[in-house]
Amino acid sequence: MLQLSVLREQTDLVLAGLNKKNYKNATQEVQTILDLDSQRRGLQARHDEEQARANQLAREIGTLMKSGRKEEAETLKAETAALKLITKNLTEELSEIEKNLQNALVKLPNLPHSSVPEGKTAEDNEIVYQHGNIPELHATALPHWELIKKYDIIDFELGNKITGAGFPVYKKQGARLQRALINFFLDEALKAGYAEVQPPILVNEASGYGTGQLPDKEGQMYHATEDNLYLIPTAEVPITNLYRDEIIASDKLPVKNTGYTPCFRREAGSWGADVRGLNRLHQFDKVEIVCIEEPEKSYAALEEMSQYIQSLLQKLELPYRVLRLCGGDMGFTSALTYDIEVFSAAQNRWLEVSSCSNFETYQANRLNLRYKPGTGKTQLLHTLNGSALALPRIVAALLENNQTEDGITLPAILHAYCGFDKITL
């Protein structure tokens, strides 16, 4: 959530950032917030004045009563009663305005970093790095949705029978490959200094609010209505919320966590060629990395996280590229996002496998997540997270890029984790 002080003091900067994100009605909504804030501060000043007057009268009444001047005290008591009614009404007005102000604030997205390119769609994203050679496949190569049938390792029909579309069943070597990748990603994260946590996969409203999924995105999450809990769309939500309403000591920063969870997303989109097979699911496995850092160090941390994610893809021997997302293609809460994509040879297209983002103070403001630098006042921290990695498209690329006429050869780093080096009939 954007800070009111930034909206008041840097209004032009806020409007420029919202326009870069192609946010509609930016001028109108910002002005509404500023008007509500002005009303709130005016009412608060009146409330404080009336309360101060009431406190002063209370002291005077005590003095009069002690000196036996009861008639004068009774006159002041009547005035005090009137002031109490005024302050009560002002408190109610303040509460309503603060509610409206909060509702308006949470609708504004985060502002983009200065390095974010202009643009409206994915076509305007900036390629900042590309690594590896595009594999050349044999003439009878298959896309992964055919390979999984051929080798009987993932079954969409069984998943549809049990649950519905977008919930595959992993079998035999496919199940072992899933477990191998999860363990590999977690082991690598531990080596890189991330502390492992195993969070709940259901979260409450406060957690969804803290990381920006709520309000307004309820329809994108599975909702257990009786208990008012949400299935997580990513481990970012519970892991970041571990630190909600915390003041972290400076000598404990940065905070670096990793965790594996299944993830659940209702907005799997239309079912066509681009989202076939493992390309888009309602349930999938992912290992997440989360970092909480001092503001002046957060962009160095973002680069470090991006390099770490790239190192995983290098060890998996997958060609990849790194994109800096343009303003119009960025997430609601992000200030800067790198998307990392692998090349899927049988589909002849790039597949996103990771988003690595710096949210600056946007989430921390909603989370009330702060630190105290030296002897100064508490300040908001910066939060960052990245997929390291999401499994479905990694599996798709591994299967397609490494297929041969007699099996699918796995990268050497996974042999010990899987217990086999090739998927065969």
Whether the predicted pLDDT of 94 surpasses 80: yes
> Are the CB atoms for 371 and 379 separated by under 8 Å?
yes
98 annotated as belonging to a binding site for a ligand: no
pLDDT, tens digit, 9 for 90 and up, residues 228-272 = 999 999 999 999 999 999 999 999 999 999 999 999 999 755 555
Per-residue confidence band for 70, with pLDDT thresholds at 50, 70 and 90: confident
Using DSSP's 3-state secondary structure scheme, residue 50 falls into helix
Q: What is the pLDDT of residue 272?
A: 55
Using DSSP's 3-state secondary structure scheme, residue 204 falls into coil
pLDDT, tens digit, 9 for 90 and up, residues 119-140 = 999 999 999 999 999 999 999 9
Model confidence pTM above 0.85: yes
Closest alpha carbon to 114 in 185, 20, 26: 20
DSSP secondary structure letters along 270-294: --SGGG-GGGS-SEEEEEEEEEEE-
Averaged pLDDT for residues 391-395? 98
196 annotated as belonging to a binding site for a ligand: no
Task: Indicate the average pLDDT of the chain.
Answer: 95
Closest alpha carbon to 405 in 107, 141, 153, 44: 141
Query: Residue 11 burial (CB < 10 Å; 0-12/13-18/19+)?
Result: middle
424 annotated as belonging to a binding site for a ligand: no
Q: What is the pLDDT of residue 362?
A: 98
Could you identify the residue written with the tokens 């990771």?
A: 354
Tell me how far apart the alpha carbons of residues 12 and 28 are, in angstroms, rounded to a whole number: 13
Taking the domains of the chain in order of start, what are their residue ranges?
4-105, 122-423
| Residues counted in the chain | 425
* CA distances in angstroms from 121 to 55, 117, 145, 331, listed in the order given: 59, 11, 28, 12
Q: What percent of the chain lies above the pLDDT cut of 70? A: 98
Averaged pLDDT for residues 142-153? 98
385 annotated as belonging to a binding site for a ligand: yes
Token duo for residue 257: 């966590």
CATH topology of domain 4-105: Helix Hairpins (1.10.287)
Torsion over CA: 274, 278, 282, 287 (sign): negative
Q: Are 4-105 and 122-423 equal in CATH topology? A: no
Whether the predicted pLDDT of 177 surpasses 70: yes
> Are the CB atoms for 280 and 95 separated by under 8 Å?
no
267 annotated as belonging to a binding site for a ligand: yes
Q: What is the pLDDT of residue 219?
A: 87
Residues in a beta bridge with 116: none
Averaged pLDDT for residues 277-296? 97
270 annotated as belonging to a binding site for a ligand: no
What residues contact residue 161 under an 8 Å CB cut-off, 6+ apart? none
Per-residue confidence band for 218, with pLDDT thresholds at 50, 70 and 90: confident
What residues contact residue 335 under an 8 Å CB cut-off, 6+ apart? 110, 111, 112, 113, 116, 357, 358, 359, 360, 362
333 annotated as belonging to a binding site for a ligand: no
User: Which of 24-38, 207-221, 266-280, 388-402 is the least confident region?
Assistant: 266-280
Tell me how far apart the alpha carbons of residues 153 and 171 are, in angstroms, rounded to a whole number: 5
Q: Specify the DSSP class assigned to residue 320.
A: E
Averaged pLDDT for residues 345-371? 97
355 annotated as belonging to a binding site for a ligand: yes
Using DSSP's 3-state secondary structure scheme, residue 45 falls into helix
pLDDT, tens digit, 9 for 90 and up, residues 54-67 = 899 988 988 898 88
CATH topology of domain 122-423: BirA Bifunctional Protein; domain 2 (3.30.930)
Residue type, 256: K
- Interior/surface letters 109-148, b for 16+ CB within 10 angstroms, e for the rest: bbbbbeebbebeeeeebeeeeeeeeebebeeebebbbebb
Would strands 195-196 and 169-170 be described as parallel, antiparallel, or unpaired?
Answer: unpaired
Tell me how far apart the alpha carbons of residues 93 and 80 are, in angstroms, rounded to a whole number: 20
Tell me how far apart the alpha carbons of residues 276 and 392 are, in angstroms, rounded to a whole number: 11
Which strands sit side by side in the sheet containing 202-203, from one edge to the other? 202-203, 229-231, 223-224
Token duo for residue 268: 């799997």
Peptide bond into 254 cis (omega under 30): yes
Q: What is the pLDDT of residue 413?
A: 98
160 annotated as belonging to a binding site for a ligand: no
> Are the CB atoms for 418 and 331 separated by under 8 Å?
no
361 annotated as belonging to a binding site for a ligand: no
Phi, psi of 389 (to 5 degrees): -140, 170
Query: Residue 350 burial (CB < 10 Å; 0-12/13-18/19+)?
Result: buried
Whether the predicted pLDDT of 68 surpasses 90: no
> Are the CB atoms for 223 and 345 separated by under 8 Å?
no
Q: What is the pLDDT of residue 114?
A: 97
DSSP secondary structure letters along 336-358: EEEEEEEEETTTTEEEEEEEEEE
Token duo for residue 153: 């390792």
